[in-house]
Each structure stands twice: as C-alpha cells, then as structure tokens.
C-alpha cells in the first residue's frame, strides 16, 4: 500500500521520545517532513538529529503551547501542514480523591486544553485535505487502576474526536489511537511503582502483565507509529471520527 506521504508536512507533539517519536519515525520513513515538538530543548534536538534532514525541532509545552512559535515553525520548516499528531506525556497518576485541584487542572491542560488551543491557532494553516490524530490510551475503553485523570479525560477526548470530525469534515479528518502497554519511559516508570507496591521486580511485573496480552508482549513505539502514519495519510481518506486500539489485544470489551 502506498501512503503517499512523500514531502507531506506534519507537526508531531510529544515527539522527543516514546510513542510520539515512533510516529515521527514512521512518517519520516514514508518520506514525510516532520516538526518534532516537546518541552526539553536537548531532547528535541537529539530526536530531530536522529531523524535526519527531514526533521526539525520545536520546543513546546503541550499543556501551555507556544502558539506564535508553533506557527513560525510551521511557516519556516514545512511547505504544507498536512497533519497534526496530538500527544503528550502522561497526566498525574493517582486515585481521583487523592489528586489535588492543581493535578486535575494540569491533567486537563495537558490532555485537552493545550491541544485545543494549538488546534485553534493552526487550523488556518492546515492543507486541504488534512488529518488530525490524537493519541489517547486504553483507558478510553477500560479504566486503569491509579490513573483516574486518564480514566476521566481520555474518554472525553474520544468523544471530542467525534465532534471535531463532524465539525471539520469533509476537508479535515480527525481520529484517535488508544495504545495499550508499550515499552516507553512512562510505562516503565508506572511499572516500577506498581512493582515496588507489590514487592516484586519490574521484570516480574512486566512478565505477568504480558501474560494478559494476547500477543504476549509490550508493543514497540514504531508499531503504533505505523498505524498512525496510515491514519494521517491519504490512504485513510474515508476514515474519520474513530478510536482505534493498538494494544496487542489487551482490551477485550465489546464494542
């Protein structure tokens, strides 16, 4: 299948590592140009360097995005803005009633408020047609213990994707990806805390968790990246308003 991404331009948020980097890597492999955006200047520079000449960097905090800087980066580095990948680090962890008001405000800004502000600003820059893709979580379908900010807000993003698909169509498609367990720094951090609470090693926890995944392992970020590249590409021209699981079969609920 030809994705027809050669020389297309994409802004990829949260792209210095983990799932965002996997998406940027897959897009570059298909011939696209990408702006790698994340908070840490050194990490942004390192990621753009690894991706090569097709990538440029943008220092941008998703929770409080640099709107003018983002517009300037798009104008400088991309001939066309053909798509946006909305992604961020994980929100504060913990059960709902133990989280502070500040935790909840940060979670909202990180997952919804900041990305919406960026979309408002960049919508006039989007080509016709274009695609928006939001990375959510398996918590869209199945709550995750001790991650109640995600359990509440990620399903809201899935609903927002439906609304945006209606409002922005037919020129702009909007979809989301719901990843399960991937080998990323965020997941390793969470696993380390869970392992400590259970009095076992992180390796033992990963092995036990993998037993509950039909494919028997955690995913590699590039595996999600390939699905993202498809949904962002013209090859997915009749797909919009969807939430797509990329989880090795982890979530078994129907629908």
pLDDT the model gives residue 102: 97
Domain ranges of the chain: 9-182+220-246
Query: Domain 9-182+220-246 is of which CATH architecture?
Result: 3-Layer(aba) Sandwich (3.40)
User: Which pLDDT tens digits describe the chain residue by residue (255 residues)?
Assistant: 899 999 999 999 999 999 999 999 999 999 999 999 999 999 999 999 999 999 999 999 999 999 999 999 999 999 999 999 999 989 999 999 999 999 999 999 999 999 999 999 999 999 999 999 999 999 999 999 999 999 999 999 999 999 999 999 999 999 999 999 999 988 998 899 889 999 999 999 999 999 999 999 999 999 999 999 999 999 999 999 999 999 999 998 887
41 burial type by CB count under 10 A (0-12 exposed, 13-18 middle, 19+ buried): exposed
Q: Which residues contact residue 214 at a Cβ distance below 8 angstroms, ignoring those fewer than 6 apart?
A: 248, 249, 250
pLDDT the model gives residue 186: 87
β pairing state of 81-86 and 55-59: unpaired
Contact (CB, 8 A) for 135 and 19: yes
pLDDT the model gives residue 253: 84
In 3-state terms, what secondary structure has residue 175? strand
pLDDT the model gives residue 55: 98
pLDDT the model gives residue 76: 97
């Amino acid at each position: 299948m030809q994705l027809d991404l050669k020389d297309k331009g994409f802004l990829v948020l949260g792209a210095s590592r983990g799932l965002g980097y996997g998406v940027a890597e897959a897009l570059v492999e298909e011939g696209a140009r990408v702006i790698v955006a994340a908070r840490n200047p050194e990490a942004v520079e390192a990621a753009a360097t690894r991706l090569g000449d097709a990538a440029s960097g943008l220092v941008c905090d998703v929770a409080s995005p640099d709107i003018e800087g983002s517009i300037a980066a798009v104008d400088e580095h991309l001939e066309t803005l053909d798509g946006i990948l909305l992604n961020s680090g994980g929100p504060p962890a913990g059960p709902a009633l133990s989280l502070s008001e500040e935790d909840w405000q940060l979670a909202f800004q990180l997952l919804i408020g900041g990305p919406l502000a960026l979309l408002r600003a960049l919508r006039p820059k989007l080509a016709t047609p274009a695609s928006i893709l939001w990375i959510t979580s398996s918590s869209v379908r199945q709550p995750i213990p001790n991650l109640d900010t995600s359990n509440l807000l990620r399903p809201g993003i899935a609903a927002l994707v439906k609304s945006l698909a209606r409002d922005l169509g037919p020129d702009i498609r909007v979809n989301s990806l719901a990843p399960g367990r991937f080998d990323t720094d965020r997941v390793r951090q969470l696993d380390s805390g869970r392992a400590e609470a259970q009095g076992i090693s992180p390796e033992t926890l990963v092995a036990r968790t993998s037993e509950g995944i039909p494919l028997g392992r955690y995913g590699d970020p590039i595996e999600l990246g390939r699905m993202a590249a498809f949904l962002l590409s013209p090859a997915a021209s009749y797909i919009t308003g969807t939430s797509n699981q990329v989880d090795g079969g982890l979530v078994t609920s129907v629908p």
